[in-house]
Structure 1
């Protein structure tokens, strides 16, 4: 049974998708795309964005065919209940992994730039408990929080880069398409992983009261995220060049520290940007946290998702501390992207889509006979 206070609008879904996708990846995306696509990073992001949109629309189509059911219920009809339970548990673990990775990256960045004397364990626990406080109240408060934080995240970041427009060297994006095609395809695949987060559409459809507007909302969310990534990458590669960008761990933060802002009354721009980025990663963490909890509650058929909010924290906290360094964190993130993400973003939607079409065709043949 879905409560009325857990119903959100299609416009809120649009913002929720954007804030979920734009998380920790914004720090390293310019470096990642520069390693594979070179000066053609913007083209790779553009292609990756439209590929992600295609699969997001496919997930939406599958979910819309079972308007009152979440992923756990409708996959039981499509791929049998035992397989559905296994896939749903894997989806829960998948969401939890992203919470733990984002929390660890958040802890590492804050410890380096703002809180060098604070144990990283305290930083991670603080973020997880803050997320839990919001998650236990349900989807509608989460959507409202994303609405509040969305302009705080997007507007300042876009304005902060404008003074650096004169420092951009357009020749850093040349030559166009002079890299091996296979390497360019790998760059596209890599950027597709930067849109991780739209998988929440698996669980979201029954909670939207104007679901007839969801197509437009998904389109706007995916394209807006793509343009935002391109905007950031344009400045990073345009100023540093792709060769220097690919050697940096967090080129986004390096660029912020290197800019000379004409606003003399702002003494610590780094602190402002870190505060904005904290909101950015917080929105991603609480979204993944909520949908991990929601999936579990649907698997065990619990009336309340809030029962599982706190029990997941020790697990995700332990997962966040498994990597021994930030390099290992990104190594593990690469493994998750290459295997689990490709399964939930591309393979599973295609399989479910084919099965759904076959079942619909079979039902039509039975009606005719």
Structure 2
């Protein structure tokens, strides 16, 4: 990898690659997935849709890393020209870069909306967005190794407090809210797959991360672990939210997970109300998604144009700010993220499979060592 546009060669471990996928996935879905799935399924079987979607994403992740492992030490932006030719590869790279840029912008806008609603009431959106972007800029300039090390700190904190908060909500949990299982058949479960898939975007970061792994042949293990943990967390979250609030109650709330945290108190603990604590760890996850997508987009531009990486980190920040300010409210911000999310199903589900088959037929790349 050329040092002129990526900086010194960095390495990340298999566990760090898995942690990057997990942190990327555990974004806005923690707060919104119960509602979006409940609206589509309209039965207590929403948790089954999540498991089915998780299995589909595991298959897509396996295909994606199988492609990346054929071109060890190279990112998507570097190996696709070997498969398709220069101009088609340039167009595909632009699509991937645009995807990362819009995801980063929409996530930071949703963060600002929720933070302004629950923590910083009355604060202008731009005044919340800019500080997070500047901090993200500082981290991204440190490179993928710095990003991975920070994520290793964030993830355990997130998992411990999220699971603790959900377990404490068991005092209002009613198993009857989850019955009957498959009472309306399999069709409601199938309807829930489409919106659920959007919450599992994140494995695509392996298009970049695999090139930096010390042991690229273990990329499959990293992506399977990275997807499996969010599947378990999301399933557990939806089960606890529906069990505590019922399927009808979940449908009527914009932020059902937060509303669940606000529906009970635990006397005598350091935190008697847990919604603020949940927001803190959720903000860390959104920050993770923003920084890793900023890094991927900047690296993509630097590699396809053969320019310095730092230049594009600074250049993309004002562009992402303008994109983040386009939605008029949180509803439009969600629509922006959903639109790009639907495109990702094709971009990272279908195209990698086609490229893998073409590379095998044309004998491009090498069998993983």
> TM-score normalised by the shorter chain: which range applies?
over 0.9
After superposition, residues 1-369 of structure 1 pair within 5 angstroms as: 1=2, 6-37=10-41, 38-179=43-184, 181-266=186-271, 269-302=274-307, 304-338=308-342, 340-360=343-363
C-alpha distance in 2, partners of 1:261/1:184?
35
Note the residue ranges of structure 2 that are not aligned, 5 or more in a row: none
Moved more, 350-359 or 308-317: 350-359
Identify if the C-alpha distance between structure 1 residues 78 and 26 changes in structure 2 by more than 3 Å, giving closer, same or farther: same
**Separation in 1 of the partners of 2:97 and 2:312?**
12
Deviation of 1:306 after TM superposition, in Å, equals 1.4
Question: Which deviates further from its counterpart, 321-330 or 53-62?
Answer: 321-330
* CA–CA separation in structure 2 for the residues paired with 1:275 and 1:5: 33
Q: Alignment RMSD, CA only? A: 1.9
What residue number does 1:367 align with? Answer: none
Distance apart, 1:65 and its partner CA: 0.5
Secondary structure of the residue aligned to 2:265 is coil
TM-score, length basis structure 2: 0.93
Where 2:362 maps in the other structure, the secondary structure is: helix
Q: Secondary structure at the match of 1:194?
A: helix
Q: Secondary structure at the match of 1:7?
A: coil
Give yes or no for contact 1:199–1:344 (8 Å, CA) kept in 2. Answer: no
Q: How far apart are 1:336 and its partner, in Å?
A: 1.7
Return the TM-score normalized by structure 1: 0.93
Q: CA deviation at 1:264?
A: 4.0
Structure 1 residue 43, shift from structure 2 partner: 0.8
Alignment partners' CA distance in 2, 1:79 and 1:308: 25
SS at match of 1:6: coil
> 5+ residue gaps in structure 1?
364-369
1:17-43 superposed Cα distances (whole Å, 9 cap, x missing partner): 100111112111000111122211111
How far did residue 94 of structure 1 move? 0.3
| Aligned equivalents of 2:123, 2:65: Cα separation in 1 | 43
In structure 1, what is the Cα distance between the partners aligned to 2:295 and 2:38?
Answer: 33
